[in-house]
A and B are shown apart, each in its own frame.
Chain A
Amino acid sequence: MFKNYLKIAWRNLLRNKSFSVLNIVGLSIGLTVTALIIMWINFDVGIDQFHDKKDRIYEVYNQYPVDGEIWTWNSTPKIMAPTIKKDYPEVESVSRFNYDDTFLFSVEDKRMKSTGTIVDPDFLNIFSFPLVEGSIASALEGVNSIVITETFAKKLFGDKAAMGKIVKVDNADIFKVTGILKDLPNNTGFNFEFLMPWAYAHQRGWNNQHWGNNSIATYVLLKEGTDYTAFSKKIKNLRERYDKDAPETVTYLYPWSRYWLYSEFENGEEVGGRIILIRMFGIIAAIILLLACINFMNLSTARSEKRAKEVGIRKVVGARKGALIAQFLGESILISFIAAALALVLLLLVLPYFGELVQRPLSLDMTNTPFWITGVIVVLFTGVLAGSYPALYLSGFKPSAVLKGTFKKINSPITPRKVLVVLQFSVAIILITASIIVTQQLQKVQDRQSGYSKNNLIYSMVEGDVGKNYTLIKNELLASGVVESITKTSSPITEGWSNSWGYEWKGKDVDDKTTIQRFNADDAIAKTTGMEIIAGRDFDLGKYPTDSTAAIINESAAKLMNFEEPIGQVVRDNGVDWRIVGVVKDFILDSPFQKIDPMVIAGAKFAHNVIHIKFKKKAATSESLAQTEAVFRKYNPEYPFNYEFVDQKYAKKFNSEKRTAQLINLFTLLTIFISCLGLFGLASYMAESRIKEIGIRKVLGASVRSIATLLSKDFLKLVLIAIVLAVPVSWYFMSKWLEDFAYRITISWWTFALAGIAALAIALLTVSYQAIKAAIVNPVKSLRTE
């Protein structure tokens, strides 16, 4: 029986090549997209889920009400971890985590920079990062112990054993390798090449004990059997006892295993995070697969006249409805398995690109049983989904009706097939508008004036002897002829590292807790970065030595502080009175998608970490770089010269949105393609089934054009309905999406008009080929078939 089904299914496939190709191509695209998304979801869901104790690990978060809203953030004071450990017996261990630290490492004459972090010894006990050599209990004991990954060990020591060896850090401190970490797996959010003990941070004076200094992460491992809810209540008011400045800050333990997918907070509540994007694309994948299934349904039922006879015969010789349903389902499952084979090839081809697009190291492991099981389940599901409606529809034919040759479909005004076409095109139109709007938004933000000049501007971190020799470096660079201007700042001009609502100025409302960006620069900041001064002047230490306590504010700050004459006013921060000497036009420090915060650029008095250098336009960039490097080498010989181009850094701010746009564009194209496949197939069957009508019309004098129009009209009507349905839906969702951006486009009517026209044009192109083909057939031929 099964063999018989298979045989007939196979012959059917071969006999109706165009039908098979349309279905298989459509389904294989749907399956490929589904597989990609499932792999992506699977990867993200698995991130940091391999830690043995993950259900007992918590990260310390803070919550604080600002303007009636609860802010949630995860950086903590350095004193937090020891305090928690001391005060709460439920806590098994704690570890501080100093985010990313970059140091210079030297082994003999080999030098390289690497990024790792400083943690408490218990870090290795809390998280499951196994050591290849060394012991978890003692690896991070002492001050000058370092644990490095296998890869980093290889980089430093080559093929020689690294354990127990000496490595010099920042050209000053001698460390002994006390442990070799197995390289971190792909599926972790951590990214470090080495771990150093907190005692080292203490030694370097990085361990200030202020409760107001929230700058590191704190991880807590609770003892087994601890009741989380009860413990949360206990720890909630921890700061009341210690933090004099902000005792009302709530200490909140966030279940760490949720951080990757869910750690986005609004008003103190989890509101999603990465899961939102994943969910969205999951839905899109499901929809694309559904659209491919709809093609199958449509084409199968459209061909029903051809198969009606078979159904009749089989019933007459004794087939029950169930047997026929099984047969048709078998066919659709066969088709979906063939499509799956094709999808597998496609998957292998596109996986690397997709991985790059979603920034995940996705790979296909053919020996992975769950992959195959999931695959078979998805394929079976697809086959059943695609085949169920046609199977029910086809198996319902009455033999007495279909075998007498009187069987003709009646074209009722609403058939499921039309509904399905409308659905397909609605989705396509929604995605087209989404594509247009996302692209427009991106374009608008990319076109936004950054407020400074990014060209010929680089920055380099202050490291090694650069700080000490800065004046020498500066003078030599300015004398070299390639450098226009140079300034030292607190952070790169593309990143805001610090902010505060604690600024004071004359006339400030006591309840005003507006966040002000904190930035520092020593000299010639406007000249170097090309900011536009709208009042007062730039920093000029040479001319005005008092500029070390001067400040330049931006326009928004001037508006906020509401001075009649800002120049000469005083702003107080960190116990220093800064005198305003200039006002600059707002410029983009952080996200170009958001509004620009008020900002105070304070003068040379405070520490600076970054050097910005503006090259002269005339010199070639490579030449300027070479000369600059030579100067840095001269005064900081132990360190390689590292720099970033500001324009490249700035461009990176768009990466995430660019990827979203690329993904949406990709899915839009696929959806349009699949919808067109279906429409093409439907149009061809429609033309075939109306061949007699076309013949009669032509004999009676209809022109080719009038017939082609007649045939196309029906489909275009469906697309019009789809436009009407799709517009409100896409308007709703895209408005929601845009709400996330303070700087955004307004959705205009022509977006929808454009999407609608595009959909109509695509549909028309698809259908008209078939329509014209049918219309030019010689009527003598078509009428003879009756």
Chain B
Amino acid sequence: MLLQLNNIFKWVNSGGQRIFLLKDINLEVEEGEFISVMGPSGSGKSTLLNVIGMLDNFDEGEYNFLHESVHTLKEKHRANLYKEYIGFVFQSYHLLDDLTVKENLEMPLLYKKFKGSERKAMVADMLDRFNIVGKKDLFPAQLSGGQQQLVGVARALIANPKLILADEPTGNLNSQQSEEIMGLFRKLNEEDGVTIIQVTHSEQNAAYGSRVINLLDGRQV
């Protein structure tokens, strides 16, 4: 088992009232799964993804990731954990505008203390694999949305994570670009065994996954 959420609650206090963002979430994810999280706006999809990605805390419950109990870990350990095992893909790509494609891909490796030669090899490999060698010296603004997201996925993958968390990865893309990215996810999932959890609004995209989790007002339905 890759990760397990038990009775996760997350809330904020607003005007004396407790508003639940996540309410009693229970989830087990096996390695190699491709899960789609669906639900209307404000149902807690992104919050759930952030909790799984350890970018956000929760207020109650247990979270085990690869047999580590995340809820008891210190910030630093938690950061090490997600750094090593999790890659993120965002709706608006979130590439650094001031860095070229190549430099954007290299950035996660810098923080993981890879040597210069290793970094070069890994970046070259990724460029090759995603067929963007010709774009390596361009800045994000010079790329189309689909290409930017391609770089985004490549960046998420570069350090060989076990889990990819994608928050509406095709939200800003047209249908053709969407299909390409989803196809890529499927391929990664099937051929490389990468576990994927994606948040999506689209039934079509959800169909690429093996399982769907529906959320409404912070609850599983």
Contacts and interface: CB of A to CB of B under 8 A. Distances in A.
B98 A314 contact: no
Contacts of B53: 316
Contacts of A4: 103, 106-107, 110
B152 to A, nearest CB: 10
B23 interface: no
Nearest to B94: A313
Contacts of B108: 317-318
A15 B82 CA distance: 32
Interface string B44-83: 0010001001011000000000000000000010010011
Closest 3 A/B residue pairs (Cβ): A318-B83, A317-B108, A318-B111
Given A4-B106, A316-B88, A323-B111, A310 B96 contact: yes
Interface in A322-338: 323
Given A318-B83, A404-B46, A399 B55 contact: yes
Nearest to A406: B46
Contacts of A398: 55-56
Nearest to A1: B110
A314 B107 contact: yes
A316 B110 contact: no
A320 B50 contact: no
A333 to B, nearest CB: 18
Given A317-B155, A320-B79, A320-B111, A400 B94 contact: no
19 contacts: A4-B107, A7-B103, A11-B98, A12-B98, A310-B96, A310-B98, A312-B94, A313-B94, A313-B96, A316-B55, A316-B88, A317-B88, A317-B107, A317-B108, A317-B111, A317-B155, A318-B111, A323-B111, A405-B92
Contacts of A11: 98-99
Contacts of B92: 405
Interface residues of A, number: 25
B111 A309 contact: no
A748 B26 CA distance: 75
B159 to A, nearest CB: 8
B9 interface: no
B112 interface: yes
B165 to A, nearest CB: 10
A210 B96 CA distance: 87
B98 A8 contact: yes
Nearest to A323: B111
B90 interface: yes
Given A7-B99, A7-B103, 8 more contacts: A11-B98, A310-B98, A313-B95, A314-B111, A318-B79, A318-B82, A320-B76, A320-B111
A400 B96 contact: no
Contacts of B110: 1, 4
Interface in A1-35: 1, 4, 7-8, 11-12, 15
B98 A15 contact: yes
Contacts of A7: 99, 103
Nearest to A4: B110
B74 to A, nearest CB: 12
A286 interface: no
B55 A400 contact: yes
A319 interface: yes
B153 to A, nearest CB: 13
Contacts of B88: 316-317
Given A12-B98, A318-B112, A320-B79, A403 B90 contact: yes
A624 B110 CA distance: 85
A400 B111 contact: no
B56 A400 contact: yes
Contacts of A404: 46
A115 B106 CA distance: 74
Contacts of A318: 79, 82-83, 108, 111-112, 159
A323 B106 CA distance: 15
Interface in A388-419: 398-400, 403-405
A319 B111 contact: yes
A480 B129 CA distance: 108
A4 B92 CA distance: 23
Contacts of A319: 111
Contacts of A320: 76, 79, 111
Interface in B91-123: 92, 94-96, 98-99, 103, 106-108, 110-112
B213 to A, nearest CB: 19
B94 A403 contact: yes
Contacts of A317: 83, 88, 107-108, 111, 155
A400 B83 contact: no
Contacts of B56: 398, 400
Contacts of A313: 94-96
A405 B55 CA distance: 15
Contacts of A314: 96, 107, 111
Contacts of A316: 53, 55, 88, 94
A400 B78 CA distance: 15
A313 B105 CA distance: 12
A399 B110 CA distance: 18
Nearest to B51: A400
Contact of A400 (B50, B99, B103, B107): B50
Nearest to B76: A320
Interface string A581-616: 000000000000000000000000000000000000
A401 B79 CA distance: 16
Nearest to A9: B98
A314 B124 CA distance: 21
A323 B79 CA distance: 13
Interface string B149-173: 0000001000100000000000000
Nearest to A309: B94
Nearest to A320: B79
B66 to A, nearest CB: 17
Contacts of B94: 309, 312-313, 316, 403
Contacts of A312: 94
A8 B106 contact: no
Nearest to B88: A316
A318 B159 CA distance: 10
